[in-house]
Amino acid sequence: MGLLLVLHIIVSILLIVTILLQVGKGATTGASFGGGVRTFFGVMGAISPLAKVIIVLAIIFMTTTLFMSVFYSRGKPPQIEFETETSMVDKKPLLVASCWLLQEEKNRT
């Protein structure tokens, strides 16, 4: 489980770095004014090696996220605690204080 979490963190950092290294389409807008319609709308050519790395990292990120959600959800479900006499003992001072406040309110009116 720890290895999966470490892999997930490493892939997350690499994915962020590779996305930030990618050159956006806005960087070529200067060429669109003199380049005609094909340049303005963008020519879809071959995928760059950086884009391929991003695709692979995104697939690894999604699969590790899926596996971690499945593995971590197999833990014990949360238990509902029912009130017992011992838990009521802890609430006795609160009960006494609320009764005292109600009595004080009645005395004022």
The Cα–Cα gap between 3 and 6 comes to: 5
CA distance 20 to 58: 14
Q: What is the pLDDT of residues 41-55, one digit of tens each?
A: 555 567 888 999 999
Q: What is the pTM assigned to this prediction? A: 0.53
Which tokens is 107 given? 């005395």
The pLDDT score that the predictor gives to residue 16 is 95
Helix axes 49-72, 2-21, angle to 10 degrees: 150
Residues with pLDDT less than 50, the chain: 32, 36-38
